[in-house]
Amino acid sequence: MIGGGSWGCAFALLLRERGHAVTLACRDPEQARELAETGRNPRYLTFADLSGIAATTVAEAPVETAELVVLAVPSRAFGGVAGALPGAAPVLSLTKGLDPATGERLSTLVRGLVRGRAVAVLSGPNFAEEIARGLPAAAVIATEDGFLAGQLQHALNSPLFRAYVNPDLVGVELCGAAKNVIALAAGAVDGLALGDNAKAALITRGLAEMARLGEACGARPETFSGLAGMGDLIATCWSSHGRNRRAGELIALGATAEEAIAAIGQVVEGLTTAPVLRDLAHRVGVELPITEGVCRVLEGESLGALAASLMGRRPTEE
């Protein structure tokens, strides 16, 4: 498991409970040392008992002999980490975003960097805090490799974590990237106290945006009504755990994007993904008004002007 943040630690716990031998690889040597000595993460999920999970640095992790490499790193670091992986073990990505440098989906990046390496993506409404506390959840495993899908489903499925499989790698990855951008807008609705009607409308139209983009990129329409689409979107836009929702709320209350990140203390993927997603939409000729609006606010436009422009769009069919 490469990535010592909240989701990396929570997923390592999930793997441990299923009886797997897990090594948690951290970027920070001090964090790795404390994890190894105390069984606790000094920064994230500090309540969680991680005993029984080996901890080391990324450089010293036994990647070459691993049966599976799980990546839970920020999208901006994903390419560099994936490109440096030794061995040929399959990769399971937990990262929800696009590569900021190329605009590529992250699974495409893995296969381009290491030819022949099998890759899968896990996505869904999975807040790390709840997973770490043993609360029930479900997720979808997306891969074009049917054998790998079956292996991962068997390795992960339990009475507390239900794992589905889906061959639509394109759709699942686009859902994971786009829902964070919509969550920024949903948080802004909260910050401006515009009400539940407005928030529900924004989330619904956000899902329509996601589906339009997916269709243009060759995804399956039904993926967007599943766990990676509607499920994760609802959770991210409404939960107090949602970093992107919280960032949007803070920005609506007057914080800069940098101040919002500092207050949250963790990566806010939607802020990285928004301009990358907008550029992808331009390349495939799809209109994403909410995503465009989020980018304009991040570039300095007032939220009041954005709300007026979205509500003032030409009426059309749903």
Provide the annotated active-site residues: 179
**Exposed, middle or buried by CB within 10 Å (0-12, 13-18, 19+), for 7?**
buried
Q: Which backbone phi and psi does 214 adopt, to 5 degrees?
A: -60, -45
HEC sequence for the chain: CECCCHHHHHHHHHHHHCCCCCEEEECCHHHHHHHHHHCCCCCCCCCCCCCCCEEEECCCCCHHHCCCEEECCCHHHHHHHHHCCCCCCCEEECCCCECCCCCCEHHHHHHHHCCCCCEEEEECCCCHHHHHCCCCEEEEEECCCHHHHHHHHHHHCECCEEEEEECCHHHHHHHHHHHHHHHHHHHHHHHCCCCHHHHHHHHHHHHHHHHHHHHHCCCCHHHHHCHHHHHHHHHHHHCCCCHHHHHHHHHHCCCCHHHHHHHHCCCCHHHHHHHHHHHHHHHHCCCCHHHHHHHHHHCCCCHHHHHHHHHCCCCCCC
